[in-house]
Amino acid sequence: MIEAVGLTKRYGAKTAVYNLSFQVRPGVVTGFLGPNGSGKSTTMRMILGLDTPTSGHVTIGGHPFRRLPNAPRQVGALLDAKAVHGGRSARNHLLSLAQLAGIPARRVDEVLGVVGLQDVAKRRSKGFSLGMGQRLGIAAALLGDPQVLLFDEPVNGLDPEGILWVRNLMKKLASEGRTVFVSSHLMSEMALTADHLIVIGRGQLLSDMPVKQFISANSADFARVRTPEGEPALRDKLSGVLVEAGGRVLSEPDGALRVTGLPLPRISDLAHGADVRLWELSPHQASLEEAYMRLTQGAVDYRSTDDKLAHLQAPPQPGQPGYGMPPGPSAPADAPQQGWYAPPPPGQNPYAAPQPPAAPAAPAPAAAPRPSLQKKPSDTTEDAR
Amino acid sequence: MTAPTPTPTPAPPYGYVSPIPVRRAHLGDALASEWTKIRSVRSTVWTLGTMVLLMLVIGLGVGAVAASEGGGMSEDSALPLGFFGMLPASICVITLGVLTISSEYGTGMIRTTLTACPSRSRVLTAKAIVFFLLVFTVTLVVAFGVATAQVAMVDAAEPTGAEWARATVGAAGFMALLGLLSMAVGALVRHSAGAITVMIGVLLLPLVAALFMFSPALKGLQEALFTYSVPSQLISLYSARPPFGDSGPAGWETLLILAGATAVGLGGAFALLNKRDV
């Protein structure tokens, strides 16, 4: 059981973690998600007593880590796979840690077997690949056979077989009643591994709930409706009817409509009533990845922009309507394509528009992700291409 | 914060109990761990090997030169000749002392170490003890061997027991303390190159600076720098009387001065290690 209360960490003027409170329970894998630089590793270091929080506190089993009796037998951690002395062999590295924690030396060979490094145990870890380094780090975490396990980005650099192995290992460890806390920036990985999710962005808590609930709260179902090609009038007619009936309609570049707020049968009925034939009417559900992107998009620190190479491109041909040009005056807005996010579901969704308390030194609060704002300049250029 | 309390998972077995017997780790465990660490990296072998080589080659070379010159030093024993090998050897000890701790910072290993042992003082204490004993033992053995050879080679006064003690135990203690001071600086600076530079500066700069103090106004400072620079202290260690003028430390006093400086350095290292984020 890990419990953080009002955890805050400032480095000079930069607030890395602000007022973070959460609990990590035993028996389940808890995923710790956030974009790069959102404060995941800082939080992990504070849990392990390596960094002292500016304010707030975090305890493991009721004690701060540095006052935990037999800490290495209760908590194991993989913080950074490269945090080993490269000149030392894998076995000696683990042996020194085992001795430090008062763990019998035969346990070293055991964990080397568990992570599959027994054949390279005598080799200096400098020559290890990233995946082997991760395995060595996991071995160090498992050394004390602890009750609480922390893994910071454990699947980085692992091959698919290794990722599967880590995934099953996490689940197995949790099923034994241990507390497993895994950080990642890969939502897709967490969707398969974690039972519970804690999402942070810019050092603040965005969400703390079971994965299933996270998906339903943050994803939005929509229907894709396609009217016969070459008959834009039908398309406009249908979108008008749907909007009238209370639906929200967005246009996709290939001419399809993306409808939210109306159940499929109702769309079908409306189309029938308006005498519009349909070529497609299909349900779609946003994935966990999309839900996560939508949740954190206001809290991303490092965002890339398009490499436009504008000065190298030939000027656009005039009089040639581009792909995705508005078909008519009443055309519905284009659905953002690049990095699009499903529109927020109807009704309240407290997570769609996180309004964190303004931290004194924290950057501006995350902007509420509204579909209209999601249409970035890059989308337009992509559409016009 | 505003998250709805998640539905409690259906009664997980609270906690996990390891079949491996749990016992409290203590300083002895940390000592074993630090011994494993220091013997399993090549930098230890390289620096200590170089140190032994320098002491042997220079010590025996100086002994041979002094022997060929013939009994020019009939009043003194041959033991102070050991100084010539000790000075370059001290650079190796400084390097090893710094690397013992700063390599952990450089590689990030310190975070792994302090996760395995939250008592930071215990880790630093164990490091200091292991390092001190290792350097002391190696220097003692080599210094004794070189001194024996020098006494046998050079036609000089027979050294007394006190002189023997200063040239072997004293010299080994001096080197080990100097290494410990380097370790403290390494823990304070947390950067290998930076800490080694600082220590080489401490070793050589006072003497070099004093060489160029021609102004009479700086006479006092010049003398103090000459007397208390590390190489002069090492020379003083070998002699019973102050070798530079009438004042200044001699013999075991130099060891006390260095021990004091090391204690201050280590005190700072302990305080900062416990306070700082790693």
Digit-coded pLDDT (tens) for B188-236 = 999 999 999 999 999 999 999 998 888 888 888 888 888 899 999 999 9
Q: How confident is the model at residue A185 (pLDDT cuts 50, 70, 90)?
A: confident
Number of other residues whose CB lies within 10 A of the CB of residue A194: 27
Evaluate if residue B12 carries a pLDDT over 50: no
Q: Taking a C-beta distance cutoff of 8 angstroms, is the pair A271, A278 a contact?
A: yes
> Which tokens sit at B82?
């050991």
Q: For residues A295-318, give the mean pLDDT.
A: 70
> Which residues have C-beta within 8 Å of that of residue B224, sequence separation ≥ 6?
none
Residue B239 pLDDT level (bands cut at 50, 70, 90): confident
Q: Are B114 and B200 in contact (CB under 8 A)?
A: no
- B274 at interface of A, judged by CB pairs closer than 8 A: no
Quick: pLDDT tens for B257-276. Answer: 999 999 999 999 999 999 99
pLDDT given for residue A82 in this prediction: 84
A181 burial via Cβ count (<10 Å: 0-12, 13-18, 19+): buried
Q: Residue A10: phi, psi to the nearest 5?
A: -115, 140
d(CA A101, CA B204): 40
Judge: A92–B113 Cβ closer than 8 Å, yes or no: no
Q: What is the pLDDT of residues A125-184, one digit of tens each?
A: 999 998 999 999 999 999 999 999 999 999 988 899 999 999 999 999 999 999 999 998
The residue type of A27 is G
**Contact by Cβ (8 Å): B148, B56:** no
Residue whose token pair is 């039972």:
A195
Contact state of A82 with B41 under an 8 Å Cβ cutoff = no
**What pLDDT, on a 0 to 100 scale, did the predictor assign at position A188?**
82
| B223 phi, psi to nearest 5 deg | -65, -40
Residues 6+ apart with CB under 8 A from B215: none
A267-276, A323-332, B169-178, B267-276: which range is least confident on average? A323-332
Cβ–Cβ gap B111/A79 under 8 Å: yes
Question: Quick check: B171 and B237 in contact, CB under 8 A?
Answer: yes
Token representation of residue B202: 């401490």
A315 contact partners, CB below 8 Å, separation of at least 6: none
Tell me the pLDDT band of B8, cut-offs 50, 70 and 90. Answer: very low
Picking from A123-132, A279-288, B67-76, B259-268, which range would have the lowest pLDDT averaged per residue? B67-76
pLDDT band at A339 (very low <50, low <70, confident <90, very high): very low
SS3 A6: strand
Of the ranges A60-64, A255-259, B244-248, which is most confident?
A60-64
pLDDT category at A314 given cuts 50, 70, 90 is low
DSSP state of A366: P
Largest separation between any pair of C-alpha atoms in chain A: 79
What letter would DSSP give residue A89? B
Complex confidence, ipTM: 0.88
Give pLDDT, residue B78. 86
- CB-closest option in A97, A101, A207 to B3: A207
- How many other β-carbons are positioned within 10 Å of the β-carbon of residue A30? 27
Count CB neighbours of B231 within 10 A: 16
Res. A328: pLDDT tops 80: no
Q: What is the pLDDT of residue A83?
A: 87
Phi/psi zone of residue A200: left (φ > 0), alpha (ψ -120 to 50 degrees), beta? Answer: beta
Least confident of A291-295, A359-363, B59-63, B73-77: A359-363
Looking at residue A179, what is its pLDDT? 95
The residue whose two tokens read 């998640």 is B6
Token duo for residue A206: 């965005």
**Amino acid at site B23:** R
Residues of chain B with Cβ-Cβ distance to A97 below 8 Å are: 33, 112-113, 116
Pick from B34, B36, B276 the residue to mutate for testing the A interface (most A CBs within 10 Å): B36
Between A240 and A215, residue with greater pLDDT: A240
Cβ atoms of A185 and A39 closer than 8 Å: no
CA dist., res. B254 & res. A39, Å (int)? 50
**Using CA atoms, how far apart are residues B273 and B185, in angstroms rounded to an integer?**
12
Let me know: does B97 contact B153? Beta carbons within 8 Å. no
- Is the CB of B108 less than 8 angstroms away from the CB of A82? yes
Q: Does B241 touch chain A (CB under 8 A)?
A: no
pLDDT band at A317 (very low <50, low <70, confident <90, very high): low
CB contact under 8 Å between A350 and B2, yes or no, is yes
Q: Could you give the C-alpha distances from A55 to A204, B25, B122, B278, in angstroms and in order?
A: 14, 30, 26, 17
For residues A55-65, average pLDDT: 94
What residues of chain B lie within 8 A of the CB of A144, using their CB?
18, 20, 116
Looking at residue A263, its pLDDT comes to 85
| pLDDT tops 70 at residue A377 | no
State the amino acid at position A69 in one-letter form.
P
pLDDT value at residue B191? 94
Q: Kindly give the interhelix angle for A232-244 and A264-273, rounded to the nearest 10 degrees.
A: 120
Banded pLDDT at A187 (limits 50, 70, 90): confident
Of residues B177 and A347, more confidently modeled: B177
Q: How many other CB atoms are found less than 10 A from the CB of residue A312?
A: 6
Asked if residues B24 and A102 have their Cβ atoms less than 8 Å apart, the reply is yes
- Max Cα-Cα span within chain B: 93
Handedness of CA B262, B265, B268, B273 (dihedral sign): negative
Residue A59 has pLDDT above 60, yes or no: yes
- Paired sense of beta strands A179-184 and A196-201, if any: unpaired
> Mean pLDDT, chain A, as a whole number?
81
Nearest to A193 by CA among A167, A217, A215, A211: A167
The burial class, CB within 10 Å (0-12 / 13-18 / 19+), for A114 is: middle
Interchain CB distance below 8 Å, A79 and B109 = no
Contacts of A80 (CB under 8 A, 6+ apart): A137, A152, B108, B111
In contact, B54 and A138? CB cutoff 8 Å? no
Distance of CA A117 to the CA centre of its chain: 30
The arithmetic mean of pLDDT across residues B131-148, rounded, is: 96
Find the mean pLDDT for residues A257-274: 88
Whether A96 and B37 have beta carbons less than 8 Å apart is answered as yes
CB B163 within 8 A of CB B77: yes
Q: Would you state the pLDDT for residue A316?
A: 57
pLDDT band per the 50, 70, 90 thresholds, residue A310? low
CB pairs under 8 A between A and B: 160
Asked whether the beta carbons of B98 and B186 are under 8 A apart, the reply is yes
**d(CA B96, nearest CA chain A) in Å:** 15
pLDDT at A337: 52
Residue B174 has pLDDT above 70, yes or no: yes
Q: Quote the tokens at residue B129.
A: 């003890």
Look at residue B156 in the predicted model and tell me its pLDDT.
Answer: 82
Q: How confident is the model at residue A365 (pLDDT cuts 50, 70, 90)?
A: very low
Contact B112 A84 (CB under 8 A): yes
Q: Tokens 């002491």 identify what position?
A: B55
Concatenated DSSP letters of A198-262: EEEETTEEEEEEEHHHHHHHH--EEEEEEPPTT-HHHHHHHHHHHHHTT-EEEE-TTS-EEEESS
Residue A75 phi, psi (nearest 5): -130, 130
Residues of chain A with pLDDT > 90, as a percent, come to 44
Q: Which residues contact A12 (CB under 8 A, 6 or more apart)?
A: none
Of the pLDDT bands very low, low, confident and very high (cuts 50, 70, 90), residue A220 is low
Contact yes or no for A26 and B12 at CB 8 A? yes
- Hey, what are B76's tokens? 């003194």
Nearest to A352 by CA among A340, A367, A363, A362: A367
Instruction: Answer whether residue B48 shows pLDDT above 70.
Output: yes
Type of residue found at B98: V
